[in-house]
Each structure stands twice: as C-alpha cells, then as structure tokens.
Structure 1
Amino acid sequence: MPYELFYWPSIQGRGEFVRLALEDAGAPYVDVAREQGKGRGVKALMAMLDGGAAPLTPFAPPFLRDGEVIVSHVANILAWLGPKLGLAPEGEALRLFAHGLQLTITDFVLEVHDTHHPISTDLYYEDQKREAKARTAAFLTHRVPKYLGHFERVLNENPSGPAHAVGGATTTVDLSLFQIWAGMTYAFPRAFAGADKRYPALASLAAAVARRPNLARYLASERRIPFNESGVFRHYPELDQAAGKAGRTKV
C-alpha cells in the first residue's frame, strides 16, 4: 500500500520535508489533501484531525499513515521513513545524531515562521508588520549565522567527508538542509546573497541534492508546489535586508 501523507494542499510548508524524502526514494505515496475522490481531499485530512484516526489522533499536519501506523511531526516521520527508504545512516549512534539534526532543523523552521508571525498565528502578517521587521532583523543578524554555521561545521566535521551531514550516503537530513537552503534563497534573496561564500559546504550539498535524479524530476514537475506567501518561507521585500545590514535596520 502507498504511504499516505496528510498536509495542506496549497503550500510546501513542513510537509515538503516529508515529500522530498518520498520523492527522492521513488516511494509510492498519496498526498491525500491534494487528491480528489473517495477518502481524499482536505475533508479527509480534517476528518483525521477530528477523530478519524482515534485513538492515534494527531495534533496537526503533517502526519503520515503507513498501514495501521500513524506518525506525526516532521522529525518523527523522517525517523520512521529514513530506514525504510534507504535514507538513514547505519548504526544507532548516527541515527540518533541525525534525528537531533532534524530536530534542530525543526527549530530553525519555527524561527523562519516567526519572522512573519512574531506575535500570533491568529493575526494576519499585516497586523504585526512592525514586530515582524524587528524579529526578522534579529533573525538574520544572529540566528541564521548560528544555525547555518552549525550545519556547516557538522558537514566539515563528518569523518566521511562534507558531501553529507551524517555518514557517507544521502540521508533525510541532507534533503532537509537542501529545503532550508532553497527556502532562505526564496524568502531573503538580499540577505542571503553571498551565502554560498559564507557556507560553502552547505551550498555544495544543496546543489548536489538538487541534482539527484528523482529529486531533479520532482523539482521540475507540477508536484513541487512553488514557494508562496502562505507557507513557511515567505518573501516580503520589506523584511529582506541586504547582507550584513540587518543589524542596522531601524523599525
């Protein structure tokens, strides 16, 4: 039976990290909310959240159904899928390290989200633009170098070489690092200009992931939802500061 991915149909969002793993592995899956027909569509997603998965009801998408197993949260889903798809390192120690990196990526994605919704997700971006400018300036100046610097160091310290984050073969962590690189390129083109010089190992990894045959076909297909201003990575020109200037922005 194909895997069933439950996520919102019109955005990449957090669900994209799972899609990348499934697409790279060529695994059969159904993107439930994007499909039509019996048991498909957004109604099917909402039915699961309203108790259709009881007693394993998830809190929010994304979540994955694999037969009778339901797994929620990106890092958990990828920890479940990685070994099945051949996208996990060998050995318990490396798998735990990879899971920790995936959780760190989850933290980073949350901070990206909070650049445009620093007060509340219940408010529109337009209702918190002043706060968003302040939050984004701090994020670009302090948080991005902290996170990406850590990932760059992990790549360079990998005993198997900097082509991968963990071990000597592609894992879900590599795919997720590609996604945050692509997302930052879209959301903050000015602030992220020259990032390939500051984080050359990350840039090389992202380029290599994009060239993987299955992913290259996916990225060029209609299945890859374009970045847009409803997802996690949003491009608001008023938030994007030239590289090195974010810390001096007045709001």
Structure 2
Amino acid sequence: MKRLITILTALTVWSASLPASTPDADALLAKARAYLGGDAALDAINSIHYFGSIEMTETPAGATNPGKSSIEIIFQKPCQHRLVVSSEKSVDITGLDNYFGWRRVEPVATGGARVQNVGLGKEQIKRLRANTWENLYFWRGIEQHGGAIMDKGETELDGVKCRKLVMSYGPGIEFVRYFEIATGRLLLTETLPVGVIREEGEIMVAGVRFPRKLIATAAAGADGKTRVITITFDRIALNETFPASTFEQPLISGAR
C-alpha cells in the first residue's frame, strides 16, 4: 500500500529526533503498569471491547440537547480499531484497518439523507494509529510503534506529586500524561484537539483496572462555548477474536 512507506518514514524521522526516555520515566511507567494489573495481565490482552454511552454538554448551554448516544469501541492487536456511535439520527462508524482508515455515517430515518462512506487522510490515520497503540500496549514499547517518550520531570497536580510524561507520535499527535509518583495512577491526560481527559471510577476485568468514565473537556472555541464529553462504560470484554471484516470499510450499498 502506497500510504505505508509515507507514514512509516514520517514516524521514523520524527521519533529519531526526540530525546530518549529517562530511567525515572521508565520506573514510573513500570509502576503505572503494575497499578493497572501488571505486565503479565496487560501483555495477555489482544483485544478490548467497550460498551457504554456518550453524552456532550455545552457551557453556555446550546439551543438543543443532543442527549445520550450509545457507544461501542473495539481495539485489536496489532493495530485495528472500530468506533460506533449510535443516536436517534444516525449511526456513525469509524474504522482503522492497520494503515487504512475510514468513516461511515448511516442515517437512521429516511427522508433524502444519504449514506456517507469515505476514506480518511494520512494525518487522521496517524492519529488513529497512535490512539490504538496507546490503548492496546499500555505504554510499553512505544518506540517500536513510531513514538517516543519525553520526560518533563516532577510537577504537582491538585496537590498530588506527579511526573509529567509526553508520549509523542509526531507533530500534533501527543498525549501529555500526569502520573501520581506514589502509586503510578494516571491522573490526567492532555491531548489535542480534545483538551483535557480525566478518568473516574473503575471496572476490573481479568485482573486489569479500567476506568468507569472518561471525561474530556475542550477549551472554549471561537463560539465561546466549553464542551464536555462524558463516556460511561457499562461493560468491557477482553480477548474476543474479531474477523478482518470488522475493520474493513463497508461497501457503499450496505454495512458488512
């Protein structure tokens, strides 16, 4: 695939220009993995399947309340991803099949609306790949996936001593994470274009700790509104096996 060489080259050049991780950062990430469940449990994960709901609120409030939508997220090694958001109006599907990404929007109601079914651009695919790696490999071997870690040292967040680590996958694709030094617990993630992501609660699955909620707050945009997206997980399944067709772009005539 012609996109393969372009993406690999861009990631390799960028990661080679970044400083290597420090011993302090490596020690903290080892503690963070232990907090989640430990190397054996994390490395045994080949796929993650999330079920839940997603809701967006605006401040000041918008004229209409979009309400809650259902959400389903699949990550599968080595680098496959599928996201489905279903509302009263549409089913919005995003897929990543290794080096090919796509999006499909299917209207629920008839009335002239047409199915949208398009391939994603190079930058969108790079971002999807980075997000997929972050979710499947739990900060281990990031350099092997085209990324690098920058240690920004100790800091304090809400009165808690933290270490600030930047997981970088290229210009504009960075996950700035704040880990509690004492426990290794992830307290906060900053990422563009979302903004700030916090985790709340937990779900234990096969000895691995997952968040119950993800709360993403975007800085005020040109319209002056601050938006908060809350994803609540009802159930998480590990190590299901998904066929290749799960992540392939559907034909325009119908979903697979």
The two structures have a TM-score, normalised by structure 1, of 0.27
More helix by share: 1
More strand by share: 2
